[in-house]
């Protein structure tokens, strides 16, 4: 719709219009809605009445839900800005969880033998081995979980093609380098990454169920 500003719904939408109360879907503005002006209800002869003005402004402050609606939109409804519980709700909607199980063998400890072993790294990179691994689960922070939600949403509606899967990979790992699918033409496929994956990223690729996987096709993750 062209115009200089947002279009507000008519106070009485026509019968059968696509509306919820005073909210017209696709027309009414969402987020950062203008606060109600209580002075619009005060006629001029009462404009200087301290008691009436105090009653009206106090009642408005008690009943005004503008901030609550804004917070609902920012922290729950809008996936781009949602946080905490809001993202957890989006995760249930698209079918992913914030808790991921790390693939076996990805727990890293300080070590020197077999430097090529990804489970053993140098100083200031991992703790000493304690003898037991208490858990293999990891909780994603909001930024990583948001990327996972958006990728799963795209996966839910994609056609499963290599082109679509490549787009999801690039969305999951932006500005990290090349990530693409290779069809080996023998009922196997490879997810190739030009960069090393952290244990959390590997869990996203292997156990989150966010990437399309053709039935009966063996998928292998290839990293440097």
- 63: Cα separation from own chain's centroid: 31
Do 150 and 144 meet the contact criterion of CB atoms below 8 Å apart? no
Other residues' Cβ atoms within 10 Å of the Cβ of residue 19: 18
Rounded Cα gap, residues 154 and 165, in angstroms = 9
DSSP secondary structure string, 30-75?
A: -SSPPPP-GGGG--GGGTT-HHHHHHHHHHHHHH--HHHHHHHIII
The strand pairing partners of 139, in sequence order, are 99
Is residue 48 one of the residues assigned to a domain? no
**Higher local confidence (pLDDT), 41 or 33:** 41
Is residue 67 one of the residues assigned to a domain? no
The phi, psi pair for 171, rounded to 5°, reads -75, -35
Instruction: Please choose, from the candidates 47, 144, 151, the residue with its C-alpha nearest in 3D space to the C-alpha of residue 99.
Output: 144
Whether residue 1 has pLDDT greater than 50: no
Whether residue 215 has pLDDT greater than 70: yes
Whether residue 185 has pLDDT greater than 90: no
Number of domains composing the chain: 1
- 80-89, Cβ contacts within 8 angstroms, sequence gap of 24 or more: 80/146, 82/146, 83/142, 84/142, 87/142, 87/145, 87/146, 87/149
Taking only the tens place, the pLDDT of each residue in 113-171 is 554 455 555 556 565 555 555 557 778 888 888 888 888 888 888 887 888 888 888 88
pLDDT of residue 24: 65
Is residue 214 one of the residues assigned to a domain? yes
Is residue 56 one of the residues assigned to a domain? no
C-alpha dihedral, 201 to 168 to 89 to 134, nearest 10°? -20
What average pLDDT does the segment 64-70 reach? Answer: 79
Three-state SS for 138?
A: strand
Is the pTM of the predicted complex or chain greater than 0.85?
no
DSSP state of 190: E
Give the domain range for residue 149.
99-222
């Amino acid at each position: 719709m062209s115009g200089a500003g947002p279009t507000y719904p008519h106070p009485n939408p026509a019968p059968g219009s696509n509306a919820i109360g005073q909210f017209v879907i696709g027309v009414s503005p969402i987020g950062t809605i203008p606060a109600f002006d209580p002075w619009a209800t005060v006629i001029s002869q009462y404009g200087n009445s301290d008691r009436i003005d105090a009653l009206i402004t106090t009642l408005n402050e008690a009943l005004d839900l503008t901030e609550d609606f804004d917070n609902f939109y920012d922290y729950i409804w809008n996936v781009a800005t949602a946080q905490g519980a809001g993202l957890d709700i989006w995760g249930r909607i698209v079918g992913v969880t914030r808790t991921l199980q790390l693939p076996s063998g990805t727990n890293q400890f300080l070590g020197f033998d077999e430097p090529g072993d990804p489970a053993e790294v140098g100083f200031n990179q991992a703790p000493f081995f304690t003898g037991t691994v208490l858990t293999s689960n990891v909780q994603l922070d909001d930024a990583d979980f948001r990327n996972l939600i958006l990728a799963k949403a795209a996966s839910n509606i994609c056609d499963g093609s290599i082109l679509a899967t490549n787009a999801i990979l690039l969305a999951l790992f932006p500005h990290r380098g090349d990530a693409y699918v290779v069809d080996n033409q023998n009922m196997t496929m490879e997810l190739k990454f030009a960069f090393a994956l952290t244990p959390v990223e590997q869990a996203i690729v292997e156990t989150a169920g966010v990437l399309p996987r053709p039935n009966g096709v063996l998928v292998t993750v290839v990293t440097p």
